[in-house]
A and B are shown apart, each in its own frame.
Chain A
Amino acid sequence: MAQIIRPYGDTMDDGKVQLSFTLPVPHGSRAMEAARRIVLAWGFHDCEVVHAAPMSDEFTFFVVYAATRHGIDWDTVEGDRDDSEKSMTMDEINTFIREKIGRKVVVVGACTGFDAHTVGIDAIMNMKGYNHHYGLERYEMIEAHNLGAQVPNEKLIEYAEAHNADAILVSQVVTQKDSHVHTLTEFIELLEAKGERGRFICIAGGPRISHKLAAKIGFDAGFGRGTYAEDVATFIVRKMVQEGRR
């Protein structure tokens, strides 16, 4: 039995959504009508333009409420990862490593290429962590090396080789012109050229990185917005044990 879901405003299945957007037209009643028409053209009904403001002579900003009849079957939806698989806590991860791996796990991470943003890799790796989730440096059984930003892919790989890393974290924040895809692809290609892809667990991360995207490029996993250190660590240690890496 299909379970069709639709947006919920204040009544089940009313299909209500809020939209805001800009049109390259001067502000006025024609602009309001254009906004209404364009929302109808997207397949919405009961469209109400509740706010329109000029942003310059040529651009107008709108807030619009509308409703949709379209729904999808909840039973056919698959997520980016298995939601029932819960991450372990820091303490559980340390115990897991002690019992099942028996030595410190070495994790090397950097934001590579021209990307200058350390915020992602820092959130996962720095002692302090992010939003009350400690970073990998805090983990007693993890040896974490955070190389910072603007690290060339080659350098990160060399560093991982020299320190016998178990896992490499590659962070990408900037996504303009798909620069993240280029950088991540180059990373995997470099590893493959060296015949070392299998040597490391490779993880990509960043606000616009999904598991699907990362897997497509050739990473073992990808972690996006809302990820904390324990999510990444759980993945690494479970995979190590699964694959018999010691």
Chain B
Amino acid sequence: MIRNKLNLPQDKIEKARELAVRICAPVLEFIEAHTTVTVERAALRLMGADGASPDGVPVPNLVVDSLRDRLGQGAALWYANALMTKGWDISELNRQIAQGFNVASIPLADRNRAEELASELVRRQLARIDANRAYREAKQEEYKGHNHSPLLYLIVATGNIYEDVKQAQAAALRGADVIAVIRTTAQSLLDYVPYGATTEGFGGTYATQENFRIMRQALDEVMERERRYIYQTNYASGLCMPEIAAMGALERLDMMLNDSMYGILFRDINMYRTFVDQRFSRMINAYSGIIINTGEDNYLTTSDAFEKAYTVLASQFLNERFAYAAGLKPWQMGLGHAFEMDPSIKNSILYELAQAQMAREIFPEHPLKYMPPTKHMSGDIFQGLVMDNMFNFVSKATGQGIHLLGMLTEAIHTPFMMDRHIAVETALYVMNGIDAIMDEIEFRPDGLIVRRAQEVLDRTVKFLEEVERIGLMESIEKAMFADIARPRTGGKGMDGLVEKAPDYCNPAEKALESALGLKGRK
């Protein structure tokens, strides 16, 4: 149970949530009326579409590309129609498509039967996801109490999945609860998901379904040995948000970086495209029991962390609203924030404490994702280690949920194995040493910490009022978020946006909406 120590005015928190509902409503209406190439590809993956052509074009892309003129009807229908007409099984259909067979060349035989078959295919894939979820929950129950609090999160990024496995296992053995395989630079801008195991990447490793499977197996080995559940994390972001979510669901990933606006602001992806993509990706995450991690930390690396603290809280409210609208539960919402304040500001650590506690109290059931200092890490590894451990202190003292361990060599190189070792050892020291601190400390009602939190909440409400007045898309066009202006028709991927036809068919979406209780929402 989270104790209220900051005396934050409840009416202001409620007001912010009401504003978020009103801000998101017109966007949700737009989303409802549209689909995208990657939503359709994800729908196909949730029917069993898989594989790639000899030159590496994934089967879901081949299908969707062949249907561009009628994508408003949904790709599912045509995939099922081809399967029915040809009498093949799924793997044969995938093989034929990979070798050049065009599902669009088969006339629609019996629409009702094709839809029924499509729904049946979805049921089979969802059954696999159900089994994954049940397995995860059983293991978490079996190893209950063996994870750290907050969960210690470490990144591996070698470019080679087999090398990643070694580093990930070493990190998990040392105490990491969560392993994220960072993606290769620019994967977010690919409008397809590469196929198969990969050994080449820049600054990270390709997210592919096979790479997911390889890492899952490696982490499960450590889980059994350590009797501690190891969470696997990847990135349902960029131009293929829903497809990565689908692949993650099928391979039992546990967390996904997944933000409603990150792609627009920080990757210059078209805003219509992102809004539509994020909804379907979040429905898949919701259904598969995945915890999303949102990207508010990025606001603080581009803008000043002291002055722009309210943009983080505002974005958290919007991410929360979009998450609810996609069926996610609070326990699945790892809302992001970061320890990025300029260390030369007097009392900077107390302000960080205030903001972390504020996030904790406003989102009491959410496993907040807390990010370490990066912007002010200088290359002085000794100073950096102290900063990381003040961050560790604040995180533990405010009960954060998911704790990304800082690296003393941040801004120097991708972490060495020993950098991670030092990060884990020092964090465990700090967190063990102040284990009961949350129950021990209170804040002076008129003190600096309480005042700072109330001030940030005040400014957030004012900011959200302004966004509501102008409209969310217009606010993004006017650079109100992260000081970055993105025109609504600009950015990458807008040509992949399609208006749904009156006879649009997407049995995966239908099944998820029904399971998540989103049915009838207009």
Chain A residues packing against B (C-beta within 8 Å):
20-22, 53, 55-57, 59, 61, 114-116, 118-119, 122, 126, 128, 131-132, 148, 150, 174, 176-177, 179, 207, 225
Contacts and interface: CB of A to CB of B under 8 A. Distances in A.
Interface in B348-399: 374-376, 378-379
Nearest to B413: A175
B186 A21 contact: no
Given A150-B186, A174-B203, A61 B421 contact: yes
7 contacts: A22-B417, A55-B170, A59-B417, A115-B185, A148-B484, A174-B203, A177-B159
B170 A176 contact: no
A94 to B, nearest CB: 23
B267 interface: yes
B489 interface: no
A21 B418 contact: yes
Contacts of B170: 55-56, 59
Given A119-B375, A122-B302, A176-B202, A55 B189 contact: no
Nearest to A132: B344
Interface in B163-210: 169-170, 173-174, 185-186, 188-189, 202-203
A179 B185 CA distance: 11
B87 to A, nearest CB: 44
Given A61-B418, A207-B379, A150 B202 contact: no
Interface string B411-424: 11010111001100
B425 interface: yes
Contacts of B418: 20-22, 55, 61
B301 interface: yes
A118 B185 contact: no
B120 to A, nearest CB: 41
Contacts, number: 66
A207 B412 contact: yes
Interface residues of B, number: 35
Contact of B416 (A22, A116, A118): A22
B186 to A, nearest CB: 4
B149 to A, nearest CB: 23
A101 to B, nearest CB: 29
A154 to B, nearest CB: 16
Given A59-B417, A61-B418, 7 more contacts: A53-B425, A114-B185, A116-B267, A122-B302, A150-B268, A174-B202, A179-B185
A102 B479 CA distance: 32
Contacts of B411: 207
A179 B186 contact: no
A159 to B, nearest CB: 14
Given A56-B173, A56-B174, A114 B302 contact: no
Interface of B: 159, 169-170, 173-174, 185-186, 188-189, 202-203, 267-268, 301-304, 342, 344, 374-376, 378-379, 411-412, 414, 416-418, 421-422, 425, 483-484
A55 B374 CA distance: 24
B189 A150 contact: yes
Contacts of B159: 176-177
A56 B411 CA distance: 25
A46 to B, nearest CB: 23
Nearest to B158: A176
A119 B297 CA distance: 13
A53 B421 contact: yes
Contacts of A55: 170, 174, 417-418, 421
A57 B416 CA distance: 17
A20 B303 CA distance: 35
A114 B421 contact: no
A124 B203 CA distance: 23
A116 B412 CA distance: 16
A55 B420 CA distance: 9
Contacts of A148: 268, 484
B202 A179 contact: yes
Nearest to A174: B203
A114 B425 contact: no
A126 B479 CA distance: 14
Contacts of A118: 302
Which of A122, A132, A150 lies at the interface centre, i.e. has the most chain B CB atoms within 10 A of its CB? Answer: A150
Contacts of A61: 417-418, 421-422
Contacts of A115: 185
Contacts of A176: 159, 202-203, 414
Contacts of A53: 421, 425
Contacts of A22: 416-418
A178 B432 CA distance: 41
Which of A55, A148, A177, A225 lies at the interface centre, i.e. has the most chain B CB atoms within 10 A of its CB? Answer: A55
Q: Which 3 A-B pairs have the closest CB atoms?
A: A114-B186, A56-B170, A114-B185
Nearest to B186: A114
A59 to B, nearest CB: 6
Nearest to A115: B185
Nearest to A62: B418
A131 B416 CA distance: 27
Contacts of B185: 114-116, 174, 179
Contacts of B378: 225
Contacts of B421: 53, 55, 61
B448 to A, nearest CB: 22
A116 B267 CA distance: 8
Which of A56, A119, A122 lies at the interface centre, i.e. has the most chain B CB atoms within 10 A of its CB? Answer: A56
Contacts of A114: 185-186, 202
B248 to A, nearest CB: 21
A57 B414 CA distance: 22
Contact of B202 (A56, A122, A131, A177): A177
Contacts of B379: 207, 225
B490 to A, nearest CB: 13
B174 to A, nearest CB: 6
A128 B304 contact: yes
A148 B264 CA distance: 13
Contacts of A116: 185-186, 188, 267
Contacts of B374: 119
